[in-house]
Structure 1
Amino acid sequence: MKLLKGIWIGFWSGLVLGLLLKWIQSVTGEQVYTLLLNVDFIPVIGDVQWSEITEFVFHMIISLIIGVVFVYLAKRRNYSFGQLVIISLLMSAPFPFLYFLLSWLAINADVPAITDWGAFLYWVFAHLTYSLLVPILYKTFERKNAVSQ
Protein backbone atom coordinates (compact mmCIF):
# COMPACT_ATOMS: atom_id res chain seq x y z
CA MET A 1 0.00 0.00 0.00
CA LYS A 2 2.89 2.39 0.76
CA LEU A 3 4.31 1.87 -2.73
CA LEU A 4 0.99 2.51 -4.46
CA LYS A 5 0.30 5.60 -2.35
CA GLY A 6 3.78 6.93 -3.08
CA ILE A 7 3.33 6.34 -6.80
CA TRP A 8 0.01 8.19 -6.82
CA ILE A 9 1.41 11.11 -4.82
CA GLY A 10 4.45 11.27 -7.08
CA PHE A 11 2.25 11.05 -10.17
CA TRP A 12 -0.14 13.86 -9.26
CA SER A 13 2.45 16.21 -7.78
CA GLY A 14 4.80 15.63 -10.72
CA LEU A 15 1.98 16.21 -13.19
CA VAL A 16 1.04 19.49 -11.49
CA LEU A 17 4.69 20.62 -11.44
CA GLY A 18 5.18 19.83 -15.11
CA LEU A 19 1.93 21.45 -16.22
CA LEU A 20 2.58 24.51 -14.05
CA LEU A 21 6.05 25.01 -15.54
CA LYS A 22 4.69 24.44 -19.06
CA TRP A 23 2.00 27.06 -18.42
CA ILE A 24 4.53 29.53 -16.95
CA GLN A 25 6.75 29.04 -20.00
CA SER A 26 3.82 29.58 -22.39
CA VAL A 27 2.75 32.78 -20.61
CA THR A 28 6.16 34.32 -19.86
CA GLY A 29 8.47 32.84 -22.48
CA GLU A 30 10.91 31.79 -19.75
CA GLN A 31 12.19 28.34 -20.71
CA VAL A 32 11.58 26.75 -17.29
CA TYR A 33 9.61 23.79 -18.67
CA THR A 34 12.37 23.15 -21.19
CA LEU A 35 14.84 23.21 -18.28
CA LEU A 36 12.73 20.67 -16.36
CA LEU A 37 12.68 18.23 -19.26
CA ASN A 38 16.20 18.73 -20.60
CA VAL A 39 18.42 15.62 -20.54
CA ASP A 40 20.95 16.57 -23.24
CA PHE A 41 23.84 16.51 -20.75
CA ILE A 42 23.28 12.92 -19.57
CA PRO A 43 25.68 10.48 -21.23
CA VAL A 44 24.03 8.12 -23.75
CA ILE A 45 20.50 9.39 -22.98
CA GLY A 46 21.46 12.92 -24.01
CA ASP A 47 22.57 11.76 -27.45
CA VAL A 48 19.01 10.79 -28.39
CA GLN A 49 16.40 13.26 -29.66
CA TRP A 50 13.55 12.34 -27.29
CA SER A 51 9.97 13.46 -27.74
CA GLU A 52 8.48 15.87 -25.21
CA ILE A 53 6.29 13.08 -23.84
CA THR A 54 9.29 10.80 -23.29
CA GLU A 55 11.21 13.59 -21.54
CA PHE A 56 8.11 14.23 -19.42
CA VAL A 57 8.07 10.52 -18.51
CA PHE A 58 11.70 10.89 -17.32
CA HIS A 59 10.55 13.78 -15.10
CA MET A 60 7.63 11.71 -13.82
CA ILE A 61 9.89 8.77 -12.91
CA ILE A 62 11.87 11.10 -10.62
CA SER A 63 8.63 12.39 -9.10
CA LEU A 64 7.35 8.84 -8.52
CA ILE A 65 10.55 7.99 -6.67
CA ILE A 66 10.22 11.13 -4.53
CA GLY A 67 6.58 10.23 -3.76
CA VAL A 68 7.51 6.70 -2.68
CA VAL A 69 10.38 7.95 -0.49
CA PHE A 70 8.09 10.56 1.08
CA VAL A 71 5.42 7.98 1.92
CA TYR A 72 8.05 5.64 3.35
CA LEU A 73 9.32 8.44 5.63
CA ALA A 74 5.81 9.62 6.52
CA LYS A 75 4.68 6.13 7.53
CA ARG A 76 7.54 5.69 10.00
CA ARG A 77 5.72 7.75 12.63
CA ASN A 78 2.39 9.44 13.09
CA TYR A 79 3.50 12.87 11.93
CA SER A 80 1.35 15.97 12.14
CA PHE A 81 0.57 17.81 8.92
CA GLY A 82 3.10 20.50 9.82
CA GLN A 83 5.79 17.88 10.33
CA LEU A 84 4.93 16.34 6.95
CA VAL A 85 5.30 19.76 5.32
CA ILE A 86 8.73 20.13 6.92
CA ILE A 87 9.76 16.65 5.70
CA SER A 88 8.62 17.53 2.18
CA LEU A 89 10.42 20.89 2.24
CA LEU A 90 13.62 19.22 3.48
CA MET A 91 13.38 16.61 0.73
CA SER A 92 12.85 19.45 -1.75
CA ALA A 93 15.72 21.61 -0.48
CA PRO A 94 17.95 20.71 -3.47
CA PHE A 95 15.32 21.73 -6.05
CA PRO A 96 16.21 25.48 -6.19
CA PHE A 97 19.89 24.60 -6.63
CA LEU A 98 19.03 22.24 -9.48
CA TYR A 99 18.05 25.32 -11.47
CA PHE A 100 21.67 26.47 -11.49
CA LEU A 101 23.11 23.00 -12.09
CA LEU A 102 20.70 22.15 -14.92
CA SER A 103 21.19 25.56 -16.56
CA TRP A 104 24.95 25.13 -16.38
CA LEU A 105 24.94 21.53 -17.65
CA ALA A 106 22.63 22.12 -20.62
CA ILE A 107 24.41 21.59 -23.92
CA ASN A 108 22.01 22.27 -26.78
CA ALA A 109 18.73 23.09 -25.09
CA ASP A 110 17.42 26.64 -25.01
CA VAL A 111 17.25 26.96 -21.22
CA PRO A 112 17.36 30.05 -18.99
CA ALA A 113 20.74 31.48 -18.09
CA ILE A 114 22.11 30.81 -14.63
CA THR A 115 21.73 34.55 -13.96
CA ASP A 116 18.08 34.76 -15.10
CA TRP A 117 16.53 35.59 -11.73
CA GLY A 118 13.00 35.78 -13.13
CA ALA A 119 13.22 32.23 -14.43
CA PHE A 120 14.79 31.16 -11.14
CA LEU A 121 11.85 32.59 -9.19
CA TYR A 122 9.36 30.78 -11.43
CA TRP A 123 11.36 27.57 -10.90
CA VAL A 124 11.32 28.04 -7.12
CA PHE A 125 7.61 28.91 -7.07
CA ALA A 126 6.68 25.80 -9.07
CA HIS A 127 8.87 23.52 -6.96
CA LEU A 128 7.53 25.05 -3.75
CA THR A 129 4.04 24.28 -5.05
CA TYR A 130 5.19 20.70 -5.64
CA SER A 131 6.67 20.49 -2.13
CA LEU A 132 3.45 21.67 -0.53
CA LEU A 133 1.27 19.46 -2.72
CA VAL A 134 3.05 16.26 -1.61
CA PRO A 135 1.91 16.38 2.06
CA ILE A 136 -1.55 17.65 1.04
CA LEU A 137 -1.98 14.64 -1.27
CA TYR A 138 -0.61 12.34 1.43
CA LYS A 139 -3.18 13.55 3.97
CA THR A 140 -5.94 13.42 1.34
CA PHE A 141 -5.14 9.79 0.51
CA GLU A 142 -4.85 8.97 4.23
CA ARG A 143 -8.35 10.37 4.85
CA LYS A 144 -9.83 8.47 1.90
CA ASN A 145 -8.28 5.24 3.18
CA ALA A 146 -9.58 5.84 6.69
CA VAL A 147 -13.11 6.45 5.36
CA SER A 148 -13.09 3.34 3.16
CA GLN A 149 -11.91 1.03 5.95
Structure 2
Amino acid sequence: MKVLKGLWIGLWSGLVLGLLLKWIQSVTGEQVYTLLLNIDFVPLMGDIQWSEITEFTFHMIISLIIGIVFVYLAKRRDYTFGQLVLISLLISVPFPFLFFILSELAIRTDVPGATDWGAFLYWVFGHLTYSLLLPILYKIFERKNAVSQ
Protein backbone atom coordinates (compact mmCIF):
# COMPACT_ATOMS: atom_id res chain seq x y z
CA MET A 1 0.00 0.00 0.00
CA LYS A 2 2.93 2.35 0.71
CA VAL A 3 4.27 1.92 -2.81
CA LEU A 4 0.88 2.54 -4.42
CA LYS A 5 0.30 5.66 -2.33
CA GLY A 6 3.83 6.86 -3.12
CA LEU A 7 3.25 6.32 -6.83
CA TRP A 8 -0.02 8.21 -6.66
CA ILE A 9 1.48 11.15 -4.76
CA GLY A 10 4.56 11.20 -7.01
CA LEU A 11 2.33 11.13 -10.09
CA TRP A 12 0.21 14.13 -9.11
CA SER A 13 3.11 16.15 -7.70
CA GLY A 14 5.23 15.49 -10.79
CA LEU A 15 2.39 16.39 -13.13
CA VAL A 16 1.80 19.68 -11.32
CA LEU A 17 5.51 20.55 -11.37
CA GLY A 18 5.88 19.76 -15.05
CA LEU A 19 2.73 21.61 -16.09
CA LEU A 20 3.56 24.58 -13.86
CA LEU A 21 7.05 24.93 -15.33
CA LYS A 22 5.67 24.49 -18.85
CA TRP A 23 3.13 27.26 -18.17
CA ILE A 24 5.80 29.53 -16.65
CA GLN A 25 7.99 28.96 -19.71
CA SER A 26 5.11 29.76 -22.08
CA VAL A 27 4.27 32.98 -20.21
CA THR A 28 7.76 34.27 -19.42
CA GLY A 29 9.98 32.70 -22.07
CA GLU A 30 12.32 31.40 -19.34
CA GLN A 31 13.29 27.89 -20.45
CA VAL A 32 12.69 26.21 -17.08
CA TYR A 33 10.52 23.42 -18.52
CA THR A 34 13.14 22.75 -21.17
CA LEU A 35 15.75 22.51 -18.40
CA LEU A 36 13.52 20.12 -16.40
CA LEU A 37 13.27 17.72 -19.33
CA ASN A 38 16.79 18.07 -20.72
CA ILE A 39 18.96 14.95 -20.58
CA ASP A 40 21.34 15.71 -23.45
CA PHE A 41 24.38 15.37 -21.16
CA VAL A 42 23.54 11.81 -20.03
CA PRO A 43 25.85 9.30 -21.75
CA LEU A 44 24.08 7.23 -24.43
CA MET A 45 20.66 8.71 -23.61
CA GLY A 46 21.75 12.21 -24.60
CA ASP A 47 22.62 11.05 -28.11
CA ILE A 48 18.99 10.15 -28.84
CA GLN A 49 16.41 12.70 -29.97
CA TRP A 50 13.60 11.91 -27.50
CA SER A 51 10.06 13.22 -27.85
CA GLU A 52 8.74 15.65 -25.25
CA ILE A 53 6.41 12.97 -23.89
CA THR A 54 9.32 10.55 -23.43
CA GLU A 55 11.43 13.22 -21.70
CA PHE A 56 8.44 14.06 -19.50
CA THR A 57 8.14 10.35 -18.67
CA PHE A 58 11.77 10.39 -17.45
CA HIS A 59 10.85 13.35 -15.21
CA MET A 60 7.82 11.45 -13.94
CA ILE A 61 9.88 8.35 -13.09
CA ILE A 62 12.03 10.49 -10.79
CA SER A 63 8.90 12.00 -9.24
CA LEU A 64 7.38 8.56 -8.66
CA ILE A 65 10.54 7.46 -6.84
CA ILE A 66 10.48 10.61 -4.69
CA GLY A 67 6.81 9.96 -3.90
CA ILE A 68 7.57 6.42 -2.74
CA VAL A 69 10.49 7.62 -0.59
CA PHE A 70 8.33 10.34 0.94
CA VAL A 71 5.51 7.92 1.82
CA TYR A 72 7.99 5.41 3.23
CA LEU A 73 9.41 8.12 5.52
CA ALA A 74 5.95 9.48 6.41
CA LYS A 75 4.66 6.04 7.40
CA ARG A 76 7.47 5.38 9.85
CA ARG A 77 5.45 7.03 12.62
CA ASP A 78 2.47 9.30 13.12
CA TYR A 79 3.88 12.67 12.03
CA THR A 80 2.05 15.97 12.28
CA PHE A 81 1.43 17.90 9.08
CA GLY A 82 4.23 20.33 10.01
CA GLN A 83 6.65 17.45 10.45
CA LEU A 84 5.61 16.04 7.06
CA VAL A 85 6.29 19.44 5.47
CA LEU A 86 9.73 19.45 7.11
CA ILE A 87 10.47 15.93 5.80
CA SER A 88 9.40 17.01 2.32
CA LEU A 89 11.55 20.13 2.43
CA LEU A 90 14.54 18.08 3.58
CA ILE A 91 14.04 15.67 0.68
CA SER A 92 13.85 18.72 -1.60
CA VAL A 93 17.09 20.38 -0.47
CA PRO A 94 18.93 19.29 -3.66
CA PHE A 95 16.29 20.71 -6.03
CA PRO A 96 17.51 24.34 -6.15
CA PHE A 97 21.10 23.17 -6.66
CA LEU A 98 20.01 21.00 -9.57
CA PHE A 99 19.26 24.20 -11.47
CA PHE A 100 22.96 25.11 -11.50
CA ILE A 101 24.15 21.57 -12.13
CA LEU A 102 21.71 20.95 -14.99
CA SER A 103 22.43 24.37 -16.50
CA GLU A 104 26.16 23.71 -16.48
CA LEU A 105 25.91 20.14 -17.77
CA ALA A 106 23.51 20.98 -20.60
CA ILE A 107 24.94 20.71 -24.08
CA ARG A 108 22.02 22.47 -25.72
CA THR A 109 22.02 26.25 -25.61
CA ASP A 110 18.29 26.87 -25.16
CA VAL A 111 18.32 26.21 -21.41
CA PRO A 112 18.86 28.95 -18.83
CA GLY A 113 22.41 29.70 -17.85
CA ALA A 114 23.56 29.13 -14.29
CA THR A 115 23.49 32.90 -13.70
CA ASP A 116 19.92 33.42 -14.96
CA TRP A 117 18.42 34.45 -11.62
CA GLY A 118 14.92 34.94 -13.03
CA ALA A 119 14.85 31.36 -14.28
CA PHE A 120 16.35 30.20 -10.99
CA LEU A 121 13.52 31.83 -9.02
CA TYR A 122 10.90 30.17 -11.25
CA TRP A 123 12.71 26.86 -10.81
CA VAL A 124 12.70 27.24 -7.01
CA PHE A 125 9.03 28.31 -7.02
CA GLY A 126 8.05 25.26 -9.09
CA HIS A 127 10.02 22.86 -6.92
CA LEU A 128 8.78 24.44 -3.69
CA THR A 129 5.24 23.89 -4.99
CA TYR A 130 6.19 20.27 -5.67
CA SER A 131 7.63 19.90 -2.17
CA LEU A 132 4.50 21.28 -0.52
CA LEU A 133 2.25 19.04 -2.60
CA LEU A 134 3.85 15.89 -1.18
CA PRO A 135 2.54 16.33 2.40
CA ILE A 136 -0.75 17.89 1.24
CA LEU A 137 -1.52 14.95 -1.04
CA TYR A 138 -0.33 12.50 1.60
CA LYS A 139 -2.81 13.92 4.12
CA ILE A 140 -5.61 13.97 1.53
CA PHE A 141 -5.04 10.33 0.65
CA GLU A 142 -4.74 9.37 4.33
CA ARG A 143 -8.16 10.94 4.99
CA LYS A 144 -9.73 9.17 1.99
CA ASN A 145 -8.36 5.85 3.24
CA ALA A 146 -9.64 6.51 6.77
CA VAL A 147 -13.13 7.34 5.46
CA SER A 148 -13.29 4.31 3.15
CA GLN A 149 -12.28 1.85 5.89
**TM-score (ref. length: structure 2):** 0.99
- Structure 2 distance, partners of 1:88, 1:109, is 32
CA contact (8 A) 1:38 1:109 kept: no
1:67 maps to which residue? 67
Letter aligned with residue 124 of structure 1: V
Structure 1 residue 10: Cα displacement: 0.1
2:36 maps to which residue? 36
Letter aligned with residue 98 of structure 1: L
CA contact (8 A) 1:34 1:109 kept: no
Runs ≥4 residues deviating over 6 A: none
Q: Return 5+ residue gaps in structure 2 as ranges.
A: none
Structure 1 residue 73: Cα displacement: 0.3
CA contact (8 A) 1:10 1:63 kept: yes
Matches within 5 A, 1:91-106: 91-106=91-106
Structure 1 residue 109: Cα displacement: 4.7
* Per-residue deviation, residues 74-133 of structure 1 (Å, max 9, x unmatched): 000100000000000000000000000000000025100110000000000000000000
CA contact (8 A) 1:40 1:109 kept: no
1:25 maps to which residue? 25
- Structure 2 distance, partners of 1:103, 1:117, is 12
- Structure 2 distance, partners of 1:86, 1:101, is 24
Identity %: 83
Structure 1 residue 140: Cα displacement: 0.2
1:7 maps to which residue? 7
- Structure 2 distance, partners of 1:109, 1:45, is 18
* Cα separation, partners in 2 of 1:131 and 1:86, compared to 1, 3 Å: same
1:48 maps to which residue? 48
1:79 maps to which residue? 79
RMSD of aligned residue pairs (Cα, Å): 0.5
- Structure 1 distance, partners of 2:100, 2:119, is 11
1:108 aligned counterpart, secondary structure: coil
- Structure 2 distance, partners of 1:113, 1:40, is 15
Q: For this pair of structures, how many residues does the alignment match?
A: 149
**TM-score (ref. length: structure 1):** 0.99
- Structure 2 distance, partners of 1:145, 1:77, is 17
CA contact (8 A) 1:13 1:63 kept: yes
- Structure 2 distance, partners of 1:14, 1:109, is 25
- Structure 2 distance, partners of 1:29, 1:64, is 28
